[in-house]
Structure formats: C-alpha cells, structure tokens
Structure 1
Amino acid sequence: MQQDILINWSPQETRVAIVEHGAVQELHLERTLERGLVGNVYMGKVVRVLPGMQSTFIDIGLERAAFLHVADLLPSAAAVRGEGEPSQPRPGGNGQVPIERQVFEGQALMVQVIKDPIGTKGARLSTQISIAGRLLVFLPQDEHVGVSQKIPAAQREDLRRRLQALVGDAASGGGGGFILRTNAEDSSDAELAEDIAYLRKAWARTKAAAQKLPPASLLHQDLDLLQRVLRDLVTEETQSIRLDSREQFDKLQAFGREFMPAATQKLQHYKGERPIFDLFSIDDEVAKALGRRVDLKSGGYLIVDQTEALTTVDVNTGGYVGARNFDDTIFKTNLEAAGAIARQLRLRNLGGIIIVDFIDMVRDEHRAAVLAELRKQLGRDRVKTTASGFSPLGLVEMTRKRTRESLAHMLCEPCAICRGTGAVKTARSVTYDILREILREARQFNPREFRVVASPKVVELFLDEESQHLAGLSDFIGKPISLQAESAMGPEQYDIVLL
C-alpha cells in the first residue's frame, strides 16, 4: 500500500504523519523539552532492591527512579561500569538467580531504557544493551548473529553466513553479536561492514564515557525523530518524505547520504504556501483522535474509552440501515469497524489491554469474517499486536505493545474541574453538600454569620428552588446565611466563610 510521510518541524516540536490513500495512519510527536528516552544508555545507580518483586529501582537522573526487573538483568552486565565478570551465585529453585544476589544498593550499572516513563510509572530498563544502526542491531554483550524473522526463511541462512563472516573479519575490532534488520535484505557486504564498524565505534564511545562520567549520566543517546524516520519508518511502499524546513532538510539529507542513501532519494523539501499538515487535514484528524466518538462512513460509529488499566472500543450501528436485513446490517458495520479500530490503535498509539465490543452477531461465518478482517488490518501495524477470538460474552480481547505515551496522554492532561473522571456533581448535589457542611460547622463554631461562596449556578439554585431549605437551616441553627456568587469557581467548588 502506497504511503507518504509528512514532517512538520518547528524549534519546539517535530510532528511526523504517515498517510496512506489520503488517510492518516500514524502520528509521531517529539518535543524538544520532552524527548523520548527509549534506546538511551545511562550509567545508573541502584537506589533500592526489592526481593519480593525481583526488581530494583535505579537512578538515571530522571524525576522518577527507573525500574529494572530480574528478567532484564544480564549476569554478565552486573559488573560495575560494564566490564568484567561478576561472581555467579547459585540459581534459585526456578533457575533464575535472585536479583538480591546480583545487585546491591549504591552499585553502578550500565542500563538502557526500553520503555519511556508512562503516567506515574518510571522508565523500564534493561542491562542487555543494544545499539541500532541503519542495517544492523549491535548486541555488545552477546555473540549471537541473527537475521530478522520478517525476511523469507529461504534467504535467512545465506544472510546469516554472510554476516557471520563480516563480523569475524571486520577490521574495526571483534566481539559482540549482530541482528540483521529487515531493510538490510538486499545490502552489499561493503554496506554491512560499514554499519558494523559504525556500531562498534559507538559502543567504544559509550564504554569510554562510562569510565569517566558519574552515576546518573547519559552515555549514549538514540537518534532524534527526524533521523528515526529514515531509519525506522521508511519502507518499500513509501513514495515520498516531505519536510517543511529547509535547514532540517539539509541536515537530514546529509545524515541520510551517509547512513540511509536509499531512503534519502525519497526526501523532498516542501515549499508550498499552505502548512504541510493541511494537505491531508491532519490537524483535524488529530482533533478527532482526541475524542471518544469515531464516525464510520456507513453511519455507524465507535466509542473509544481509555483508562489506566485498559482501553475499550464499543461498536454501534448508529444511523446505518442500508443492508437487506438486520444481520447483514450488523455484519457490514462490524466489518467496517474492524479496519477503523486497527487505524485508531495506530493513530492514537493505544497500548496494553484492549477490549472490543462488536455488535452481537448470530452467524458463525460472520464472526469469523470480522475476526479475520481485524487480524488482517492489525497485521499492518509496526507495533506487535495480538487478538484472541470472541469470548463467551462476545468480546474480542487484544494486546498491543506499549512503547510510549498514547496521543491523548501526550497532548492532554486531566480536566481541572472533573479531575479526569469525565463527570461533575449536579448543582443540586453541591447545594446539599453545602447545607450539610454548614450544619457541621454550626455545631463546632459560633460565628455571627455564615457566608456561602460558590459558582453562580449553585447560588442561583439557592435563591430559587432550594431557598426554602436554606431558610429552614438558617432558622434551625439561629444564624443568618448569606450568598456570594464567584464566577471563577468550578461547579463543585465552594467556600463557607465564618463571619
């Protein structure tokens, strides 16, 4: 499927949109002050070991301590500053060396971020360092030589033999393992050898920095979003990469000529008068992706609700009544929804557990066809996604690997009024809260007067429908109660002033 990549650059933010047939499929954002950390290598300091969770918290210089699980801890990487071999404690009953026997508080560890901080959770770390290049991924602590599983099996063995010979013959120094990336399928030996040399030099610089810099220091930083576009997002289907900044275009072209010449040929400088994202109404699509409702062309719609635990997607027929019978109407709506759901997952970058509630279908062949279409559409996702069959309740359970914040979490924050719940108390509920609070205060204090400061809607209700209850309470406590409207107050906010 043909695709175009549009890049909108500004000093404070870089935005990348992947467009297929006029529809936005993915949106990637990177802000100068909020740049992602995945791929960065740090010299960390162990601040707390948790044997019960078989994990440890590590200070890498961020606001929150990062998290390292025992499964991501290489015994050979437990040596201070990435060198030497630690003593090998006896494995526990499950064959895994307990984390408390591998690390200790105050220890310095070379670690790499494998998942950005999300919400209240700190970054996820690993001591299994990997450095990505244009054609290869370098594993400095491993000797394994592998080939991407996306390359046909018939070619993998030949590519592995070629790569093994180059790894052993590279003049830049031996050691380390390599994985050949999908885009290296047709690369020459010279290109592979060049990438091997580059990656080994990058690792040598990282190790040298580890010897000099104190804990909580950055040793190696991954490429920025503009460079990752050429490295990770360009495929054979990519027709063009349009960038609206001349300065960044020149820099990216120079970077591409050195590391990704094939991708650089598709790079274009956009000189149009209209903002580049207006070409496909991308800003409008982003605004829609921040809402709950997604309209389908047929007249049906989706309701997408994102919570901390999981994301739910509800499919509804809406105004669609065009099929011959009710079963076909439901089937066609669900079939269209399957493609829309896969696109929304990519566009919104939703991860974790996802529950889809398709409209109930009676016929088994309809359910099988909808599930097959959903899996087909999910197969286009560059992020690992799996979908199970229909549950006894008619729900489809899915998981999508969470690698970074969702679009909503990047662009939005919880409402200051409802605090993220999506609902506020009615004005009548607030008036009754106020009446109870006045009665509670009257039993503890003896002021001359009570003054209620609240939103205009609450004060208006006290002066109208709730005036009798307010007067009754005033008589009961034997104190006057005055009202003051404050337009700056939210619907649930109020103050009771003792005069």
Structure 2
Amino acid sequence: MSTEILVNVTTQETRVALVESGLVQEVFVQRESRYSVVGNLYKGVVRRVLPGMQAAFVDVGLERTAFLHAHDIIPSDEASVGEEPAINELVHEGQDVLVQVVKDPLGTKGARLTTQLSIPSRYLVLLPYSDHVGISARIEDDGERGRLKTALEQVLAEEQTTTGFIVRTAGEGASLEALRSDVQFLTKLWDSIRRSAKDAPKASMVYGDLPMVMRILRDLLGTDVDRVRIDAPESYEQVVRFARRFIPEASDRIELFDGEGPIFDLYSVEDEINRALDRKVMLKSGGYLIIDQTEAMTTVDVNTGSFVGHRNLEETIFKTNLEAAQSLARQLRLRNLGGIIIVDFIDMQDEEHRKQVLRVLERAMARDPARNAISGVSPLGLVEMTRKRTRESLEHILCDACPTCGGRGSVKTVETVCHEIFREIMRSARQFEAREMLVMASAEVITRLLEEQSTALAELEDAVSLPVRLQADPVYTQEQFDVVLV
C-alpha cells in the first residue's frame, strides 16, 4: 500500500491530504483567520467554578473562556482523598493554572482544557506530572514492546529522569540513541516551559505546538509514508530543515511539487473534498450512505439503492452492509466526524451476517488514528459508536449554515408560503386601514399566486375588500415575503 502526504500552501490557507493507495483518507485545513490551538499550553486564570457541573471556566486569552472538567485536573496534595474530588477542592476563582488545550473551540463551545500535560516529540510523549512509562497500544508486537520499554527505562535511569514518558506509535523500531535524543530534547523543553510559565502574564500562551504542516509530519511521517509533496518552495525549504533536524531518515522523501496543475488535482483530492461535503455517499455496488451531522450526534443510514444483487435479498443486503462498513470508516476519518455516531445498517436476518458486518467495521476503524469505540448492536438494530473529536469537522471548517433554510436542510414549499401570505393579508386587513396591499416575495411564490392560487387570491380580495398587488423581488428567498399596506 503506497502512502503519500500532499501539502497545498497559499498565503491564507494550508491544506494537507493523506492519500493511501490513491484514496484520500484524511484532510487537514488551517486558515490564517482560524488557527488550531490543540496542544498549546497556557497560563490560565480560573474565572468561574461550577460545583453542579464539576467544572470551571478558565480564561486563557482566547475569544471565549475555556472549559476545565474535574476529571482533567491533577489533584493537589490538599484535595480530599477519594475517587473524584469536588471541583472547588481542586481550583478556586482567581487561581493561576497551567493548562493544555485538548479540543479546539467547536461552534459556540469554548476550548476543552486539561492540567494533565503531555508534550510530544518524534518518538515519545513527555508526561511532566507522572512517573508512568508506557508503550502505545498500536504497537502490537510483544517483543518490540518489551524492547522499547527496557530501552526507555535504561535511558531514563542514565539521564536520572523520573518524569513519565510514553513511546508513540512512530517509536516502533526506534534505536536506543533515538530514544535518548528525544528524552533529552523533551526534558530541556519542559524546563524551558516551566521557566516561561513563572514569568508569563495571566491568560497568555506559554508554549505553542508546531505549525500544522510540521505537526502532521511529526505525527504521520513514519516508515509507511513513501513521500511528501509540497507545492510552495518556501514551505518546502522549512519542512526539509525541520525534517533534517528531527526526522533525518525521512528528509529524502520530501519533494517540491512543480507539476503543471494544482497539487490537489492529484488523486482527485479536490473532488473528494467536495464530495465529503455531501450528505449522500455512493457505494460502488449502487447502494449509498446518508450522513447527517447534528449538534448532538452524527447519524448514518445505509440503503441498497440501485443494487439488486445476484442471489437473494438477504445476500444483497449483506454485501451492501459490508461495503457500507468499509466506506463509513473512511468517511468518518475524511470528514473528521466525532462524538456519538449512530449507524442504521439495513436489517439482516442472519445473525452470522450481523457479526461479520460488525467485524468488518471494527477492522476498518482500527486503522483510524483517532480513538474510537464500537458498542455493538442496540436492541433497535442500530450500531452505536464514538470517535474522539479534537478539531472541527471538515463541514464546519469549510461551510456555513444555509442562509435560506437556517441550517435545517429544508425550506417551506411555495404552497406553504402562499397560505402564510393569505393569513398575513387577513390579519393585516383586520388590524389596519389601507387602500390596497402589496405582496413582495420570490418569483416562484408570485408565479404560484398568479396561476394556481389566482382564484383563491381573488376570493381573498373580495373578503377583505381590498385590492392585492403582487411584486416579485430577486432579493427574497422562497420562505421570505412582506405584506405592505399602501
């Protein structure tokens, strides 16, 4: 399986696409007007403590106060011993706290914070307030896990470091010297952060994570990435310098793209992004998914569509569900959909078929770097799952709510609007005196009033004893209208 990272850089926007075997798996977008703050460390000030929510609001200098839950706070020595200390035992209003952003602001919600800091490097993650030494669960080989733990413990003993560390997935195969280099780098960085935090003003950033391109390369540029192509010479030079310092073994895989067309025309990345904004996802078999993203959850409906199969209905449904499970895993990652996800697969009578579809979904989701959990099939036949959400979805980054429907996804029919106009005319005629009434609406509504509703309009004029004049205005959407007394 070939894997490439494509980087498109303009003055106001940077986009990164991860492509596996010619298919876009993940898209990252960062705009000058909307930077991600995940991973940044801030010297925050507690503004409000809410015992009923076991949470506090913290000012870190962002547009909205950020949210800090009791679960995400390391208890102080003064906190009462127990499974869950009360929030007012952990923090108080006006207190300075060193916090890290774990979720960007989403919609109307502020950023999500933690005091359980973690600072990543190429192979390791430093846990400054822990003495835990662990290995990423994605490194599955027991022999390699044992080797890495032994090597890391040896390095920590030699460096006389008692701070906690976790070996990242990218650390698989890392040498003793590579681990030592990362330990030394992170230890010095943490010392620098502590000094900066003491002198930093309240509600200010103490440490910023790497720019998006560098961060993605640090996290994704493993041995399985064949090459990185960047379409901007200046950014290319910066990335190469970064790679030579921190990922020297991968620096020769970074290329400057100088093709005739846009870099995102490769592998039809631009088309994939546009398709990822549609509700409907077509399957090769002719079936399709309908994906609806709401504030509370994402729902996915699976349909057979034009796929009729070759044997019987149960076999057709089974094959559609198998294809849907694989497509769904990719779509969740591509669209960066998180939180609660409810999947309505087509009903299957065969119990073994249901188990196989669930296994295929689990295997497909296992390749997703975002933490996820599938809870099985509910009594209603729905598959319930969760996927960790740390940044806004592709739709939220690239789209606004429709100004016509207000984000509902539907508008009132022309007939419905005509009836509303009739009621408004009746209401106005009873309340006010006028010589005539002027109705201003969209061309579609006015056409309907002049044609299909012309008889009803004439009867209404007789009922209110006023002439009604109609005027189409291109400014009005289908739902908008005005009844003006003249």
- What's the TM-score, normalizing by structure 1? 0.92
How far, CA to CA, are the matches of 1:414 and 1:32 in structure 2? 21
Equivalent position of 2:354 in the other structure: 367
Compute the displacement of 1:450 (Å): 2.5
CA displacement, residues 339-380 of structure 1 (integer Å, 9 cap, x when unaligned): 111111111111111122222222222222222111111111
Equivalent position of 2:114 in the other structure: 126
Farther off after superposition, 265-274 or 131-140? 265-274
CA displacement, residues 130-161 of structure 1 (integer Å, 9 cap, x when unaligned): 11111211112222222223333334344333
Amino acid at match of 1:88: E
**Is this contact kept in 2: 1:230–1:263, CA < 8 A?**
no
Equivalent position of 1:73 in the other structure: 73
Query: Residues 383 and 474 (structure 1 numbering): CA distance in 2 closer, same or farther, change over 3 Å?
Result: same
Count of residue pairs the alignment pairs up: 485
Task: State whether structure 2 residue 186 is matched by structure 1 residue 164.
Answer: no
Q: CA RMSD in A?
A: 1.9
Query: Residues 467 and 286 (structure 1 numbering): CA distance in 2 closer, same or farther, change over 3 Å?
Result: same
CA displacement, residues 399-457 of structure 1 (integer Å, 9 cap, x when unaligned): 11112111111111110000111111112211221222232233333234332211122
Task: State whether structure 2 residue 180 is matched by structure 1 residue 193.
Answer: yes
Equivalent position of 2:137 in the other structure: 149
Equivalent position of 1:44 in the other structure: 44
How far, CA to CA, are the matches of 1:402 and 1:322 in structure 2? 37
Amino acid at match of 2:378: S
How far, CA to CA, are the matches of 1:100 and 1:50 in structure 2? 8
Which structure 2 residues correspond to residues 99-114 of structure 1 after superposition, within 5 A? 99-114=87-102
Q: What SS class does the counterpart of residue 28 from structure 1 fall into?
A: strand
Task: State whether structure 2 residue 455 is matched by structure 1 residue 468.
Answer: yes
**Is this contact kept in 1: 2:3–2:224, CA < 8 A?**
yes
Amino acid at match of 2:150: R
Q: What SS class does the counterpart of residue 447 from structure 2 fall into?
A: helix
Aligned mate of 2:375, from 364, 382, 388: 388
Unpaired runs of at least 5, structure 1: 77-86
CA displacement, residues 20-41 of structure 1 (integer Å, 9 cap, x when unaligned): 2211111121222212111001
Farther off after superposition, 308-317 or 438-447? 438-447
How far, CA to CA, are the matches of 1:467 and 1:320 in structure 2? 45
Which structure 2 residues correspond to residues 245-324 of structure 1 after superposition, within 5 A? 245-324=232-311
How far, CA to CA, are the matches of 2:277 and 2:293 in structure 1? 10
Unpaired runs of at least 5, structure 2: none
How far, CA to CA, are the matches of 1:371 and 1:63 in structure 2? 42
How far, CA to CA, are the matches of 1:313 and 1:388 in structure 2? 16
Task: State whether structure 2 residue 388 is matched by structure 1 residue 401.
Answer: yes
How far, CA to CA, are the matches of 2:284 and 2:310 in structure 1? 14
**Is this contact kept in 2: 1:140–1:175, CA < 8 A?**
no
**Is this contact kept in 1: 2:46–2:59, CA < 8 A?**
yes
Compute the displacement of 1:175 (Å): 5.1
- What's the TM-score, normalizing by structure 2? 0.95
**Is this contact kept in 1: 2:287–2:305, CA < 8 A?**
yes
Compute the displacement of 1:168 (Å): 3.9
Amino acid at match of 1:154: G
Equivalent position of 2:443 in the other structure: 456
How far, CA to CA, are the matches of 2:478 and 2:229 in structure 1? 47
Compute the displacement of 1:116 (Å): 0.9
**Is this contact kept in 1: 2:144–2:173, CA < 8 A?**
no
CA displacement, residues 47-97 of structure 1 (integer Å, 9 cap, x when unaligned): 111100000111112222110000101124xxxxxxxxxx61434xx6322
Equivalent position of 1:88 in the other structure: 78
Equivalent position of 2:9 in the other structure: 9
Amino acid at match of 2:151: R
Compute the displacement of 1:275 (Å): 1.5
Equivalent position of 1:82 in the other structure: none
Amino acid at match of 1:167: L
Equivalent position of 2:28 in the other structure: 28
